[in-house]
């Protein structure tokens, strides 16, 4: 396989504690960490042959909490990946970090190991919100982490969550402006997915007054786009804003359907027209790789029809949208008269818009994107 450069995602599941809202595959038991790091290197070796003629221009160390690893383990892991895959000198190398792990020393060690981008899980700059979901850092510690990163040469992204318990419009604005003032070049804002956590869902039902209403969240979401636009950020994907040239290269690969490998427990990949994922059980992952095989949970070919569908529901997440003729062909061939009339209504009602030969969501349209994208899944 040749052509567009690929990305490699590595899942690091270790966390110091579990946050109230998190549904990722994580563990708070560090005892298997050395075995796990060895397994990642072995998995890279197992994949080496499949990727021998592919160039990579992005590595993403995600989690879990990659910043919890000792920096020398990060360096070893990156060196092992570089030893197995053709990773370009100027590849984007992202590490997900939690604020409590960010120190001047850690930042220089990550940088020396080859990391050039840090995605910081700020979530909020209000103490009441952070403690309500069990974060280990307070707002002051998050601000210190942002300051340490801003003094480095690393490219910095900050994550915020909209809809946290105890959040108000005023505190959300402060968190957003705090990130902007700290000089980040990239911002991700996620709507709190309460269905991923029983505790938060129950709390929301019992204390609705502690949560912003859906309407208030929608207003804030539009406002945040305006605030970031005023700072020069472009809204390039539903949940992501970036200064020009600071878009997440690795993440763009998911939405543009570029090839990516996924190493580690629960990691997903798109490779040679197949969607594959490793098992989500840590022991099974370790046992599989230690026995000399990948621990694949599923491995499915993507048919032409599925590829057309994926192109729409992934591509429409992006501001660049998708070619008009692809949407028109899909809608015409779907054999669903309602989809055709809905598509026209979305265009006329300003949910979708045509830009040149492409179709994309409008800013307001993004607010109903779940409903629209659901029709293409
Ligand atoms: C893979 S997580 C890990 C990041 C890092 N360990 C941390 O806690 O900051 C990446 C991001 O997903 C977001 N996230 C996780 N669970 C979420 C949920 N239930 N609803 C909305 N966003 C969520 C958070 O903003 C988080 O920073
Ligand atoms: S949000 Fe981050 S730190 Fe918290 S449990 Fe999930 S991965 Fe771990």
Query: Which among 11, 20, 22 is the best mutation to test ligand 2's pocket, defined by most ligand atoms within 8 Å of the CB?
Result: 22
- Tell me the DSSP string of 279-340: -S-HHHHHHHHHTTS--EEEEEE--HHHHHHHHHHHHTTBTT-EEHHHHHHHHHHTT-HHHH
Say how far apart CA 353 and CA 205 lie, in whole Å. 37
- Cα 160 to averaged position of ligand 1 atoms, centre (Å): 8
Q: Is the CB of 18 under 6 A from ligand 2?
A: yes
The confidence score (pLDDT) of residue 20 equals: 86
Does the beta carbon of 373 lie inside 6 Å of ligand 2? Answer: no
Count Cβ atoms below 10 Å from residue 105 Cβ, excluding itself: 10
* Residue with tokens 């029809």, as numbered in its chain: 305
Looking at the CA of 199, which ligand is closest? 1
Compute, in angstroms, the gap from residue 264 CA to the centroid of ligand 2.
16
In tens digits, what is the pLDDT along the chain, a chain of 377 residues?
Answer: 457 999 999 999 999 999 988 989 999 999 999 999 999 999 999 999 999 999 999 999 999 999 999 999 999 999 999 999 999 999 999 999 999 999 999 999 999 999 999 999 999 999 999 999 999 999 999 999 999 999 999 999 999 999 999 999 999 999 999 999 999 999 999 999 887 778 888 999 999 999 999 999 999 999 999 999 999 999 999 999 999 999 999 999 999 999 999 999 999 999 999 999 999 999 999 999 999 999 999 999 999 999 999 999 999 999 999 999 999 898 888 777 888 899 999 999 999 999 999 999 999 999 999 999 988 87
Q: Which residues contact 237 (CB under 8 A, 6 or more apart)?
A: 251, 252, 255, 317, 318, 319
Whether the model pTM is above 0.85:
yes
CA 64 to ligand 2: nearest atom: 7
Q: What tokens were used for 193?
A: 């997915």
**Using a 6 Å cutoff on CB, does residue 359 contact ligand 2?**
no
Residues 6 or more apart whose CB falls under 8 angstroms from that of 273 comprise 301, 302, 307
């Amino acid at each position: 396989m040749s052509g567009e450069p690929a990305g490699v995602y590595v899942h690091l599941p270790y966390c110091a504690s579990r946050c109230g809202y998190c549904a990722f595959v994580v563990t708070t038991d560090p005892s298997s960490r050395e075995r796990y790091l060895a397994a990642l290197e072995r998995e890279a070796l197992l994949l080496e042959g499949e990727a021998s003629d592919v160039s990579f221009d992005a590595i993403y160390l995600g989690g879990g909490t990659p910043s919890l690893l000792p920096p020398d383990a990060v360096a070893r892991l990156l060196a092992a990946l570089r030893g197995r895959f053709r990773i370009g000198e100027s590849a984007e190398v992202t590490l997900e970090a939690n604020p409590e792990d960010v120190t001047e020393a850690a930042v220089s060690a990550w940088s020396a190991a080859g990391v050039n981008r840090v995605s910081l899980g700020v979530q909020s700059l209000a103490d009441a919100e952070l403690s309500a979901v069990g974060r280990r850092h307070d707002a002051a510690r998050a601000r210190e982490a942002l300051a340490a990163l801003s003094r480095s040469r690393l490219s910095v992204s900050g994550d915020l969550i909209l809809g946290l318990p105890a959040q108000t419009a005023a505190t959300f604005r402060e968190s957003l402006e705090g990130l902007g003032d700290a000089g980040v070049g990239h911002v991700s804002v996620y709507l709190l997915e309460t269905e991923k956590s029983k505790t938060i869902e129950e709390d929301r039902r019992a204390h609705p007054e502690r949560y912003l209403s859906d309407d208030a969240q929608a207003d804030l979401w539009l406002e945040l786009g305006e605030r970031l636009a005023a700072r020069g950020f472009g809204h390039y994907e539903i949940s992501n804003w970036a200064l020009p040239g600071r878009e997440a290269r690795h993440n763009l690969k998911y939405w543009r359907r570029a090839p990516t490998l996924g190493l580690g427990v629960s990691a997903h990949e798109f490779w040679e027209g197949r969607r594959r994922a490793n098992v989500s059980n840590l022991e099974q992952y370790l046992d599989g790789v230690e026995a000399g095989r990948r621990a694949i949970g599923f491995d499915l070919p993507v048919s032409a029809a599925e590829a057309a569908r994926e192109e729409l529901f992934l591509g429409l997440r992006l501001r660049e949208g998708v070619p008009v003729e692809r949407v028109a062909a899909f809608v015409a061939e779907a054999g669903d008269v309602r989809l055709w009339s809905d598509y026209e209504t979305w265009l006329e009602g300003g949910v979708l818009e045509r830009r040149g030969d492409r179709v994309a969501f409008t800013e307001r349209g993004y607010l109903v994107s779940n409903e629209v994208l659901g029709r293409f899944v």
